[in-house]
Amino acid sequence: MSSCDTCVVRNRAICAALDNKEIAALSAIGRRRKLEAGEPLIWEGDDSVLVANVIEGVLKLSTGTEDGREQIVGVVYPSDFIGRPFGATTRHSVTALTDANVCVFSRADFDGFASEHPALEHKLLQRTLSELDRTRHWMLLLGRKSATEKLATFLLDMSERLVQPGCESESGALESFELPFSRQQVADLLGLTIETVSRQFTQLKRDGIVELPSRRAVVIRDRATLEALAG
């Protein structure tokens, strides 16, 4: 496993709770793994045999419906933790949306390590509670907001996780990022049709709130208005 000293998410991932000696011990039971876009890491319903930290890239959490369709139920980003410690089976599949690097651990080895390091267990609890908060927020988004509010909220959330320095304008730096989702996946995430998502994107562009240089590229030109639309 590569040195944790050069890990770009060390100070944000769950291992940030560990000292150098503990990091070395954790490193000894883990390995780096590269994933190509579309490559699965965990399958829904399988035995819970591994957990992982995301180092680079974006991955989706999904589950299958009774009629065979895929429903995306979550997204994970660099420094996020994936898998089910202390669990028997996995409740959803995990698949790379972009090329990704992850730090993978055997679940049994990780469970044993965590039980001996309370600081790591505490960090896991914090992450679990944060994920619960995000899930409740997403329930509000899906259940109560209009199509415009849903897409505006989604773009703001994406900008917080994916934003890169944009070009300069009179109003300051613009937020620019590449969505890791197709329009159909955005529709599935938000509980909308692809036609509604396309209309909403077109309206935001027409109103000068965003630019859409390509199918997945987004530039936020007027964040204040976008925040107002998000409710």
- pLDDT tens track for 140-191: 666 678 899 999 988 998 888 886 544 444 444 678 999 988 898 888 888 8
- pLDDT tens track for 181-208: 889 888 888 888 999 999 999 999 999 9
Q: Is the pLDDT of residue 95 over 90?
A: yes
Name the percent of the chain in helix, strand, coil, to the closest 5. 40, 30, 30
Q: What angle do CA 154, 35, 65 make, to 5 degrees?
A: 55
Q: Residue 97: exposed, middle, or buried by beta-carbon count in 10 A (0-12, 13-18, 19+)?
A: buried
The proportion of the chain whose per-residue pLDDT surpasses 70, expressed as a percent, equals 90
pLDDT in the model for residue 211: 95
* Mean pLDDT taken over the chain: 84
> What domains can be seen in the chain, in order of their start residue?
4-142 (2.60.120.10), 146-229 (1.10.10.10)
Task: Check the CA dihedral 150-153-158-163 and report its sign.
Answer: positive
- Specify the range with the lowest mean pLDDT, choosing from 4-13, 160-169, 178-187, 220-229: 160-169
